Structures are given as C-alpha cells and as structure tokens.
C-alpha cells in the first residue's frame, strides 16, 4: 500500500512537470535609461596653409659671365689698368650672366597647399538601455541593445 501511494505521488509530480511550458509574452515598459560609453578617437580634416617657396636660382650664368667678362676686360688697357679692367669685366659679366639665365627671377614665391590636421576627441555613445518592466504584477529589469517601445517581449516558464 505504501508503495502505491509513493508511486501515485511520483506519477502525479511527473504529470505536473510534463505540463510545465515555456512561452513568450509581452510586458509593459515602466522606464528605460540609456547606458553611455566613452569612445576616444581622432577627427581629421584638411586645411589650406600658405607656404613660401625658396628661390630657385642657378649660378651657372654668373660663373660663365664672370669668366667671359674677366677675359674681355683684361684685353683693355696696360699694366695695373689691365687688372682693374679685368676685375670690372668679371663683375659686369657675372651680373649679366645671372640675369640672362634666371630671366630676372628674383627667387621664391608663395602658394597654398592642403595640410591634414587631426585632433583627439572623446564622444559619448549609447551602448544600450536599462529597461524596467512590469509583468503579472512583478517588476523586472533587462538590458537591451535598442530603445524599447511601450512593451517588451519576456520569456515565461509556467509550472
């Protein structure tokens, strides 16, 4: 007789367990609060920058002009006058050769180039939401990736 009672109780519990079921339902959202996360990175952009270019002068014309002027100048006069004429010819030839080669270009100029500038930034982004809800008279809390609406889906296990 005792064995029958224990067996009946065990069967009764097993039958109750077999009726336990998992299902989903909706619960009313009471409140939701964003969860913020700090993200650090770089923000870069191009800006115009005024630059000065260095003069690009060639010395070849000055050298050749100076040599030619010295040779021509030394052909004029006698004695120490010949040396002075050669020196004057060298100076005049160097100036003339420079102007001819560099075409009166006095050197550098200016221009605008684009230059990348970056700065460190920290942004606050929403990483998720803490959601408080009410289901069957009980309050619950969950974390969600997106902002919930007026209701959330909950998993329910009935016993």
Per-residue pLDDT tens digits for 78-126: 777 777 776 777 787 778 777 777 765 555 667 888 999 999 999 999 9
pTM score, whole prediction: 0.43
C-alpha span between 147 and 108 (Å, rounded): 61
Model pLDDT for residues 115-127, shown as the tens digit of each residue = 999 999 999 999 9
Place of tokens 């920290």: 122
Contacts of 12 (CB under 8 A, 6+ apart): none
First and final C-alpha spacing in the chain: 29
Rounded Cα distance between 89 and 67, Å, is 9
Q: How much is the pLDDT for 137? A: 92
DSSP state of 30: E
Q: Which residues contact 124 (CB under 8 A, 6 or more apart)?
A: 36, 37, 38, 39
């Amino acid at each position: 007789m005792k064995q029958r009672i224990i067996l009946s109780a065990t069967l009764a519990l097993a039958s109750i367990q077999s009726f336990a079921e998992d299902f989903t339902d909706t619960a009313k959202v009471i409140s939701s609060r964003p969860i913020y996360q700090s993200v650090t990175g770089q923000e870069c952009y191009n800006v115009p920058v005024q630059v000065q270019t260095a003069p690009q002068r060639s010395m070849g014309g000055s050298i050749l002009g100076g040599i030619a002027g010295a040779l021509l100048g030394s052909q004029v006069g006698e004695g120490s006058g010949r040396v002075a004429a050669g020196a004057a010819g060298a100076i005049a030839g160097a100036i003339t050769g420079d102007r001819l080669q560099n075409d009166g270009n006095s050197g550098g100029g200016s221009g605008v180039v684009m230059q990348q500038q970056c700065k460190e930034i920290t942004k606050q982004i929403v990483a998720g939401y803490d959601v408080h809800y009410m289901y069957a008279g009980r309050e619950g809390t969950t974390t969600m990736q997106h902002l919930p609406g007026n209701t959330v889906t909950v998993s329910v296990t009935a016993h």
